[in-house]
A and B are shown apart, each in its own frame.
Chain A
Amino acid sequence: MGFMATAESYVLAIGTKKGLWLARSTDRKEWSLSGPHFLMSEIPSIGIDTRGDNPRIMVGVRSEHWGPTVAHSDDLGATWTEPEQGAIKFPEGTDAALERIWQIYPDSASRPGVVWAGCEPISVWKSTDGGEHFELNRGLWDHPHRSEWGAGYGGAAAHSIVVNPSGENVHVAMSTGGVYRSLDGGASWEARNKGIQVRFMPDPYPEFGQCVHKIAADAAVEGRLYAQNHHGVYRTDDNGENWISIADGLPADFGFVMLTHPRREGTAWVIPIKADSERIPPDGRLAVHRTDDAGESWKRLDVGLPDHEYNAVLRDAAAVDSAEPTGVYFGTRGGSVYASADEGESFIEVASHLPDVLCIRAAVVSGDVAAELAAAAATSGIPA
C-alpha cells in the first residue's frame, strides 16, 4: 500500500463574470489553478458544503443568454450536476422568474442537508436536500414591505443569510431594503435597521430601505452581528434590535465585504472602498482591515498586496476558511485573487488577470478525500 497523505488540503473557488476557477493547495502557500468551468457564465454565488463525507461545491450560474441555474459538484469540480427541473424555480402564482442566485449558504453541521439561498428578485430559499431543490420562503416573499424594496446598482437581491446555532434566528440582508430578522426559523420577518443610516433618502434613519452590503455573525457571541453598509460599518449585540457604528479607525466607511472569524469572538475583516461616488481603495492603496475587539479598533493589513490598485472588491468576493490560523481570501474586479494563511497579516497572489471576481469561497478538505477524488477523476478520464 502506497503512501496516502492525510494532511488537510484547501480548496478555493473563484466565481467570476466569465466562469469559475478552482485553486487547490496543501499548504496555502502554493496554489494550482484550474478552469474555467462554465465559461462565459457569471458565477455570483458559491457554497462549499463540508458537512458530508465528500465536500459539495454548489454554484449559482447565470448566462446572459440562457438564464440562471444552480449546479453542484461532489468531486471537487471534476463533474457537475444540474437538477433537471432547476434547483430554484419561482412557484406558479408568484408571476416571478429567477434572475440571479446571489447567495448559497450551507447551514450548520447540526442541520445537515439544509442550504439557504438568497436571490434576485429579492427572495430567500431553503433546501433540505443539500441544495438540489429549494423552496421559496413565503414569509419574506409575502412581506408587506416587498413592493417598497428597491434595486441597488447590481440588482435587487437578498445577498446575505445568517442563521444562529439553534436555527431559530435568521437574519437576511438585502439591497435595498436592509436587514430583516426572523425569530421563528424564517416563518415571519421584521425589519431591524435601527441605527443604520441611509444617505440616499430624505429620512436618514428609516425603518427599512437601507442598502446593507453584507452582514456576518460573530461565531462566539450569540446575537452579535456586523454589517458593512452603503456607507457605515456597524455592530449589533442584541440580534439586530440596535446597530452602533464601528467605523472609527477605518480609512473609509464604504465597502462591500464583511467577514467574521469562524470561531473567535470579536474578529472581523472589512475591505474599505473610498466612497459611493469613488469606488476605489482609499488613495488607490488596497488594504484589508481587521478588528479583534468587535470594532473598537482596526488594524490595516496590506503586506503582499500591490502598491496601487484601483479595482473594488465586491460583497461576496471575499471569504475565510475554517483552518487555524484562519485563512482570508479575496478577489478584485480586476481579476486578482489574494490569499492569507495568517488571518490577513500577509497575502500572496493566487491568480491574476481573471475576469471580474464576483464570489470567493474557501474550504478545508481532508487529504484523503482530495486524493481519492483526484484518483477517481484520473481513472475515469475526467479532467480534474
Chain B
Amino acid sequence: MPDITVVLPSVLQPLAGGQSYLTTPADGAVTVESLLDAVTGDYPVLARRIRDETGSLRRYVNIYVNGEEVRRLKGLDTEVAAGQEVLIIQSVAGG
C-alpha cells in the first residue's frame, strides 16, 4: 500500500520524536483533515501546533498539496492521493 508523506518544518520535528516526516499508508485519496488525524495521533502536542481545538488550521500554518496551499483548494477537505507528499510550512508572521 503506498504511503502518504507529511513533511514537517524543522521547528516541529522535536514534537514528532525528531522525525522530519511522518507517513501513513493509504490505498486511495484521503482528506488533509484525516491525514493530519492519522499522522499526529501519536503526537498530540504536534497536533495542537498545527490545528486549534476546533480543528481549524492555525492562521499562520500553511499546508501544501501538489504545491498548492490548501486554503486555495478545499481547505482541510482537500484530497491527497496515495503516494503524494504534503508539506507543512510556517507562513510569514511576527515582528
A interface vs B, CB < 8 Å? 17, 40, 63-67, 69, 82, 84-86, 89-90, 95-98
Tell me if A64 and B94 are in contact (CB < 8 A).
Answer: yes
Assembly CA distance A196 to B61 (angstroms) = 42
- B-to-A contact residues, CB < 8 Å: 11-12, 44-45, 48-50, 52-54, 56, 58, 60-61, 90-91, 93-95
Name the one of B11, B44, B54, B90 contacting A97, with C-beta atoms under 8 angstroms: B54
The residue on B at minimum CB distance from A85 is B44
The distance in angstroms between the C-alpha atoms of A40 and B91, with both chains bound, is 14
CA distance A153 to B11 in the complex (A): 30
* Interchain CA distance A65-B90 in the complex, whole Å: 6
Q: Tell me the bound Cα distance from A89 to B54 in angstroms.
A: 9
Chain B residues lying within 8 Å of A86, measured Cβ to Cβ, are 48, 53
Q: Are B56 and A97 in contact (CB under 8 A)?
A: yes
Contacts A95-B54, A96-B54: A64 and B93 contacting too (C-beta < 8 A)?
Answer: yes
* A-B complex: 8 closest residue pairs judged by Cβ atoms: A97-B52, A66-B49, A64-B93, A65-B90, A64-B94, A84-B44, A65-B60, A89-B53
Chain A contacts for B60, CB-based, 8 A: 64-65
Cβ 8 A contact of B58, one of A67, A84, A85? A67
12 contacts between A and B (CB under 8 A): A65-B58, A65-B60, A65-B91, A65-B94, A66-B50, A66-B61, A67-B49, A67-B52, A84-B44, A85-B44, A97-B53, A97-B56
> What is the CA–CA distance of A96 and B48 in the complex, to the nearest angstrom?
14
B51, chain A: closest CB distance, angstroms = 9
Q: How far is the CB of A196 from chain B (nearest CB, A)?
A: 33
Which residue on chain B has the smallest CB distance to residue A40? B94
Give the residues in chain A near B53, CB-CB below 8 Å.
Answer: 86, 89-90, 97-98
Name B61's closest neighbour in chain A (CB-CB). Answer: A65
Inside 8 A of A98's CB, which chain B residues have their CB? 52-53
A82 and B44 CA atoms in complex are apart in Å by 11
| A63 neighbours in B (Cβ, 8 Å) | 49
Given contacts A65-B94, A66-B61, A86-B48, 20 further A-B contacts (CB under 8 A): A64-B60, A65-B61, A65-B90, A65-B91, A65-B93, A66-B12, A66-B50, A66-B58, A66-B90, A67-B49, A67-B52, A69-B48, A82-B45, A84-B44, A85-B44, A90-B54, A96-B54, A97-B53, A97-B56, A98-B52
From residue B92, how far is it (CB to closest CB) to chain A in Å? 10
Report the Cα distance A263→B90, complex, angstroms: 47
B95 / chain A contacts, CB cutoff of 8 Å: 17
A42 to chain B, nearest CB (A): 9
CA distance A66 to B15 in the complex (A): 12
- Complex: how many Å from CA A85 to CA B52? 11
A377 nearest CB across to chain B (Å): 20
CA distance A84 to B15 in the complex (A): 10
Min CB gap B89→A, angstroms = 10
Q: How far is the CB of B71 from chain A (nearest CB, A)?
A: 15
**Closest chain B residue to A18 by CB distance?**
B94
Docked complex Cα distance between A98 and B51 (Å):
11
Nearest-neighbour CB distance to chain B for A354, whole angstroms, equals 15
Minimum C-beta distance from A199 to chain B (A): 30
A90 to B48, CA, bound (A): 12
B45–A84 contact, CB under 8 A? yes
Residues of A within 8 A of B44 (CB): 84-85
- Assembled-state Cα–Cα distance A343/B91 (Å): 45
- Which residues of A are found within 8 Å of B91, using beta-carbon distances? 65
A357 to chain B, nearest CB (A): 15
B58 — which chain A residues lie within 8 A by C-beta? Answer: 65-67
Q: How far is the CA of A65 from the CA of B44 in the complex (A)?
A: 17
Alpha-carbon gap, A63 to B45, bound state (A): 13
Give Cα distance in the complex from A90 to B58, angstroms. Answer: 15
Q: How far is the CA of A64 from the CA of B95 in the complex (A)?
A: 10
Closest to B49 in A: A66
B residues near A65, Cβ cutoff 8 Å? 49, 58, 60-61, 90-91, 93-94
Q: Which residues of A contact B90 (CB under 8 A)?
A: 65-66
Residues of chain A within 8 A of B12, CB atoms compared:
66
Chain A residue nearest in CB terms to B91:
A65
Smallest distance from the beta carbon of A355 to chain B beta carbons, Å?
Answer: 10
Residues on B with C-beta less than 8 A from A85 are 44, 48
